[in-house]
Structure 1
Amino acid sequence: MRKFNYLVLNEWLKLSKKRSFFVPHVLLILLPLLLGYMIKAFSEESFASASEFTAVMLQPTGIGQVIAILAIIGTAGIVSKEYSQGTIKFLLIRARSRMAILASKYVTVLLFALSLTAVAAVAVYLSGAIWFDVGGGEAGIRDILFSLLYGCVYTVVYVTLAFMIGVLTTSTGVTIGITMFALTLDKVVIYRDFYKYFLFPNINLSVYHNNAAPLPGMTLGFSIVMLAVYLIAFLLAGFVVFRRRDVA
């Protein structure tokens, strides 16, 4: 366990030393301020409190989607750049299993996404407190926590998809391109029974918050099971390919 923690720490240090590491965090601080100002200026009655502003903005249809995009861009090359820079050979020479090395990279991806989510949550609430009343409104801490949960699920699924594509293609550009294309597809709804088994109608769990469903017959439990199946499939594909790939 200590060796694995060292691998995660090493991966985190490699990621945090990049010049681009703090850029998405800064963007997630400035974006809520800008959005709050624009809403306050042009549609002041849209939100009655900072809690309402936060609960809405953190959902996958708002800044929650921005978090996913920034997490994908920030970590898309965590595996593929090891191949393009030729450092993968040196990484595998060390007395560490391939599974432990790849697992440490995946944990680092999740930690990066979590750091973005935490920064965004604080920034959104403070922005709401600046532009709107702190008290009042119908939304409370429960609504904020649910929005955070929906946003985290949304982000984790997409960064896991990007992680798998990065392992399979060993190309940062292809990884970002395919994952961004997938992000556009989750807005498409095909009203056919078979479509509910696809990833995209299940990924935004926030639709169930108001007792709605993406397609007839779908439930929150069904979507959770489908997302779990996809996550397991993405991880299995990535780990199996990484374990068997020849890097000589």
Structure 2
Amino acid sequence: MIGLFKNEMMKIFSKKSSWIYIAILVIGVVAGAIIYDKVYGEPNENWKSEAQAEIVELQTGLAEAPEDEKEFYQSQIDEKQQFIDANINPTEKVSWHFMNDVVFGLTIFVTLFTVIVCSANVSAEFSDGTIKQLLIRPHRRWSILLSKYVSVILYSVVMLAVLLLAGYLVGILFFGAGDFSMKSIVYTMDGQKEVAIGTQFFTSILYFLPSLLMVMTISFMLSTLFKSQALAVGIGIAVLFFSSVLGGMIIFLAEKFTWVKFLIFPHMDLTIYALQDKILQDVTLPISLTILLVYYVIFMALTFLFFQKRDISI
């Protein structure tokens, strides 16, 4: 089993594309830091007095505004007042702001590259005609497939680790280390929320991991279902990008049809729980994790059962 795993890891890292994906992540971090630095620049030390002056202007506008615009003016006043009350300078950016605003956003590329590698993992063996050579070895089919699955998991972990390490080092270089417990204001469906930026980042990453695993598992399943590498990769990428759209539609439909909340798509992005406690109605994190676990077991069972029975004739 260990030999199979080592062989699969060698296959992955022997491909130029695997190293190109890692290089893209590092380049993305550096480019993101340059842009982020240009956008925010030096912090404004007079932010509080300027915010207070803006509140006065907004209060004047609120008194004169028509009824349908009053809510907007009030929300702007509340937003600026919250920064003042918490003594949080919204123009001050340290490395942990960069990690939250830029590095975490780049995790979409980790997911994308994982989908590409995963979707092609088994289907490429059929496309290249190497599947027979693989299966004539004295190993059970399930162990061969498991070694492929674990190797892709490890590769995705490597990509994520490179992204986080590069983000942290580049963030320190451009913005300074900053205080891990420094407070910031984030925006949720329920309004503004005060958080510690370091804790917020790692909480988001923690909630990102189940989502990454599910997308990877779906892509791996597709790789075993289709002999065409291009078809497997294409469908895998489509699932990645349309899952968020379908999730949004299902959340809307859940108000009328209770059963749709048990579909997988609203639960594919758990990072929303880093900002709020529920995603729809009475659906909380434990419920989402339970639903994902059920789908995970189903997908893995289908993957291994289909591969066990699959005809390897080419």
TM-score (norm 1): 0.91
Hey, what's the Cα distance between the residues in 2 that align with 1:73 and 1:46? Answer: 38
Asked if residue 132 in structure 1 is aligned to residue 193 in structure 2, the reply is no
Aligned to 1:218: 283
Aligned to 1:97: 140
Aligned to 1:150: 207
Q: Decide whether aligned partners of structure 1 residues 205 and 46 sit closer, same or farther in structure 2, where only a CA change above 3 A counts.
A: farther
Task: Tell me the CA shift for residue 130 of structure 1.
Answer: 2.2
Aligned to 1:34: 31
Q: Decide whether aligned partners of structure 1 residues 57 and 195 sit closer, same or farther in structure 2, where only a CA change above 3 A counts.
A: farther
2:21 to 16, 20, 24: 24
Hey, what's the Cα distance between the residues in 2 that align with 1:40 and 1:172? Answer: 41
Q: Decide whether aligned partners of structure 1 residues 46 and 199 sit closer, same or farther in structure 2, where only a CA change above 3 A counts.
A: farther
Counterpart AA for 2:96? S
After TM superposition, the structure 1 stretch with the greater mean CA deviation from structure 2, 134-143 or 65-74, is 134-143
Is the 2:127–2:227 contact (alpha carbons within 8 Å) kept by the matching residues of 1?
Answer: yes
SS at match of 2:139: coil
Higher normalized contact order (CA 8 Å, seq sep 6+, divided by chain length) = 1
Hey, what's the Cα distance between the residues in 2 that align with 1:66 and 1:176? Answer: 15
After TM superposition, the structure 1 stretch with the greater mean CA deviation from structure 2, 216-225 or 38-47, is 38-47
Counterpart AA for 1:86? G
Counterpart AA for 2:112? I
1:208 to 273, 287, 303: 273
The aligned runs of 1:183-198 (5 Å cut-off) are 183-188=240-245, 189-190=248-249, 191-193=252-254, 194-198=259-263
Aligned to 1:246: 311
Q: Decide whether aligned partners of structure 1 residues 47 and 224 sit closer, same or farther in structure 2, where only a CA change above 3 A counts.
A: farther
Q: Decide whether aligned partners of structure 1 residues 46 and 34 sit closer, same or farther in structure 2, where only a CA change above 3 A counts.
A: farther
Is the 1:65–1:151 contact (alpha carbons within 8 Å) kept by the matching residues of 2?
Answer: no
Hey, what's the Cα distance between the residues in 2 that align with 1:231 and 1:85? Answer: 29
Aligned to 2:298: 233
The aligned runs of 1:20-169 (5 Å cut-off) are 20-44=17-41, 48-59=93-104, 62-136=105-179, 137-138=182-183, 139-169=196-226
Counterpart AA for 1:15? I
Is the 1:98–1:242 contact (alpha carbons within 8 Å) kept by the matching residues of 2?
Answer: yes
After TM superposition, the structure 1 stretch with the greater mean CA deviation from structure 2, 76-85 or 141-150, is 141-150
RMSD: 1.8
After TM superposition, the structure 1 stretch with the greater mean CA deviation from structure 2, 183-192 or 83-92, is 183-192
SS at match of 1:227: helix
After TM superposition, the structure 1 stretch with the greater mean CA deviation from structure 2, 142-151 or 114-123, is 142-151
Give a deviation string over 1:56-85, Cα, whole Å, max 9, x none: 4454xx111111001112332210111111
After TM superposition, the structure 1 stretch with the greater mean CA deviation from structure 2, 11-20 or 102-111, is 11-20
- Identify unmatched segments of 5+ residues in structure 2: 42-89, 184-195
Task: Tell me the CA shift for residue 200 of structure 1.
Answer: 1.8
User: Which has more strand, going by share of residues?
Assistant: 2
Counterpart AA for 2:295? Y
Counterpart AA for 1:187? S
Aligned to 1:15: 12
Counterpart AA for 1:192? L
- Identify unmatched segments of 5+ residues in structure 1: none
Counterpart AA for 2:174? W
TM-score (norm 2): 0.73
After TM superposition, the structure 1 stretch with the greater mean CA deviation from structure 2, 67-76 or 163-172, is 67-76
Aligned to 1:180: 237
